[in-house]
Amino acid sequence: MVVKKIWTIILTVCSLVFLFGCQKEDKIKIGITQITAHVALDSTREGFIAALKDAGFGEDKVEFIIKNAFEDIGNANLIASEFVNSKVDLIFAISTPSAQAAKNATLETDIPVLFSAVTDPVVAQLVDSLDNPGGNVTGTSDMTPIDKQFALIKRLFSDATKVGFIYNLDEDNSLVQLEIAREVATSLGLTIVEKGVTTSSELADAVDVLISEIDVLYLPSDNLVASSVPIVVEKANEAGIPTIASESGQVENGALITDGIDYYELGYQTGLMAVRILNGEKPTDIPVETLENTEIVINMQTARTLNITIPQDILDVATKIEK
């Protein structure tokens, strides 16, 4: 009888070990890769995970493997390869370089890839078209409303004629935005003064040169620029040059104002796309999505520093940051 009880206990313990082992093994694996860390990309990631959790795909069911490439394309490629070798169930790539790395790494697999914080996925060769992505890749575009942002320049700084545009020469997103900015500026009687860089140290030096040639500085949704916003804003403020941001994270870091999208919401929307894929839909059947709604965000401390008065009708509809 004692021996039988002992064997019963052993079998029960073994069964529980096997059961919990299977449950752990059965967790859905989602690899999340981003080219660097800054407010916009981090908010995108947080929104993505929140959407999955709200849909019942929390950490009890999903293992989120989060990786940062620290602004290095080589690292982005290694991360994507690691995800493929680990046989993740889905890759979420935040930024164009990370998405391109994920697409290339999964060419010989059926691993679905979702991207976000990508300005033009067609130009970046991630999808065939916005409506018909093709292949295993789809996601959300963060195409920024440059027309609305330049309209703010005209409204707030009617005497301005020269708008600075600093960007990463190696980032497809920035080249797309630069072309749009040129067209919008021309239509408004403004001139773009551009400076292209490839490293953070070059960016700081370029800002020093640029602020002596312009009336307003525009900050595109460029990952190198976004990672350096505090130092860019500090230099611009010292020279009395207002900074117009492409997204609210830059305003949180000191830029004066934007009329842009919410990256948390963009990530959340991408998370809902992930839910559809986990429930059986194919990326090729899911069109690329964008956020239609934008929001004016103002850094009131920066406005006071530059002695800029924001019109009341703008203040009435804006989100105001007091730091």
Domain with residue 205: its CATH number is 3.40.50.2300
Asked, for residue 5, whether it belongs to a domain, the answer is no
- Is pLDDT above 70 for 147? yes
Q: Same domain for 230 and 200?
A: yes
Are residue 36 and residue 88 in the same domain, yes or no?
A: yes
CA quadruple 162, 163, 167, 171: dihedral, nearest 10 = -110
Q: Is residue 264 over pLDDT 70?
A: yes
* C-beta neighbour count of 87 within 10 angstroms: 9
Say whether pLDDT at 170 is over 50.
yes
pTM above 0.85, yes or no: yes
Q: What percent of the chain has pLDDT over 70?
A: 92
Residues 285 and 301 in one domain: no
- CA neighbor of 98 nearest in space, from 76, 127, 75: 76
Structure confidence at residue 6 (pLDDT): 52
Do residues 135 and 270 both lie within one domain? yes
User: Residue 201: inside a domain, yes or no?
Assistant: yes
Would you state the pLDDT for residue 22?
44
Residues 312 and 176 in one domain: yes
Q: Same domain for 269 and 160?
A: no
Q: Does 55 share its domain with 182?
A: no
Give the model's pLDDT for residue 322.
Answer: 87
pLDDT at 132 over 90: yes
Q: Supply the mean pLDDT for the chain.
A: 93
The number of distinct structural domains making up the chain is 2
Q: Going along the chain, which residue ranges are E strands?
A: 28-34, 62-68, 90-94, 113-118, 137-141, 162-168, 191-197, 216-219, 243-245, 257-260, 289-290, 295-299, 319-321
Q: Is the same domain home to 135 and 150?
A: no
pLDDT given for residue 96 in this prediction: 95
Q: Give the number of C-alpha atoms closer than 13 A to the C-alpha of residue 262, restricted to the C-beta side.
A: 13
Question: Structural domain of residue 84, as residue ranges?
Answer: 28-142+263-290
Residue 185: inside a domain, yes or no?
A: yes
Q: Within this chain, do residues 190 and 311 fall inside the same structural domain, yes or no?
A: yes
pLDDT single digits (tens) 35-65: 999 999 999 999 999 999 999 999 999 999 9
Residues 154 and 175 in one domain: yes
Same domain for 195 and 206, yes or no, is yes
What integer pLDDT is reported at residue 12 of this predicted model? 54
Predicted confidence at residue 3, as pLDDT, reads 47
pLDDT at 248: 94
Q: What is the pLDDT of residue 8?
A: 53
What is the mean predicted confidence (pLDDT) over 188-199?
A: 96
Query: 305 and 209: one domain?
Result: yes
As a whole number of angstroms, the distance between CA 149 and CA 145 comes to 7
Report which of 68, 112, 121 is spatially closest to residue 88, judged by C-alpha positions: 112
Q: 15 lies in a domain?
A: no
pLDDT in tens, 6-42: 545 544 544 444 444 444 458 999 999 999 999 999 9
